[in-house]
Amino acid sequence: MAEGERGGAIIGKAHNMTEALKDPTAHAEILAITQAASALGDWRVTDSVLYVTKEPCPMCGGAIVLSRIPFVVWAVEDAKRGAHTVFGIFDNPGVNHHPAVLQGVMRSECLEQLQGFFRDKREKEWK
């Protein structure tokens, strides 16, 4: 997550910690938003951009809306659980904040990385 008021400084950075923490809410987006809010001293994470490899899930999409992040960028869409492409959370007229989105940035490179990660994980589990 980059922050405009701080001259493009990273104010939150995380990866998925669900398994390590045994916490279903420990998604990278949630952890990065928490760090950013702490760094800013405010729950509103305005004037920022959230960058993620894979499209946020509905839980993370809700956190993005509630934290007022204005812009979200991701590489790979989530055709099964995507907050935007499946559930339309960011465009929903019932929510009070509508972040702009940019999809498909470095998609092929990120898709290769994601597929490789899960391929390696499956191979380790089979052994």
Paired with 54 in beta bridges are: 76
Active site residue 29: yes
Paired with 74 in beta bridges are: 52, 103
With beta carbons less than 8 A apart as the criterion, state whether 62 and 89 touch.
yes
Strands 100-103 and 71-76: parallel
Residue 83, token pair as written in the block:
């907050």
Which candidate in 3, 19, 29, 109 is catalytic?
29
Catalytic residue list: 29
